[in-house]
Amino acid sequence: MGRVRDVIIGRRGDSLTGRLLDTAFDIQSNLGKLRVTTDRIAWIHFRNPPQSPDDEIWLVNGDRLSGAIEQEAVDFQPEGGERRRIPLDRIHTLMIGQGVDLDAPSLS
């Protein structure tokens, strides 16, 4: 695999490729409040009621945490762009270093 990047998929299907600058997420789950470092996270699906009533953190080991992420936004450095703070309510999914290979052949 070549150069791997993080991807934000927006609520309307748009996406940004770059690097997540946050190092951890806090989630209030049925296990209590947990801090999960981003090196342990494969992706996050953010709540979107009624289809997805809870935030879900999928860990690289296959475990899943559901609940409410306490942050209101993420800090993101897009490829070739300026650092941005993106509110969570604009994000559908955040993929952290999972399978987005900038050196892979394109679909077209």
Q: What's the pLDDT score for residue 1?
A: 47
| pLDDT value, residue 86 | 98
Per-residue pLDDT in tens (0 to 9) along the chain, 108 residues:
445 689 999 999 999 999 999 999 999 999 999 999 999 999 999 998 788 899 999 999 999 999 999 999 999 999 889 999 999 999 999 999 875 666 778 777
Q: Classify 11 as helix, strand or coil.
A: coil
The pTM (predicted TM-score) of the whole model is 0.87
Report CA-CA distances (Å) from 33 to 17, 50, 89.
29, 23, 21
Nearest Cα neighbor of 66 from 75, 58, 74 is 58
Contact indicator for 44, 25 with CB cutoff of 8 Å: yes
Angle in degrees, CA 41, 58, 70, rounded to 5 = 75
- Residue 36 near residue 42 (C-beta atoms within 8 A): no
How far is Cα 78 from Cα 90, in angstroms, rounded to an integer?
16
Cα–chain center distance at 105: 23
Contact 10, 68 (CB under 8 A): no
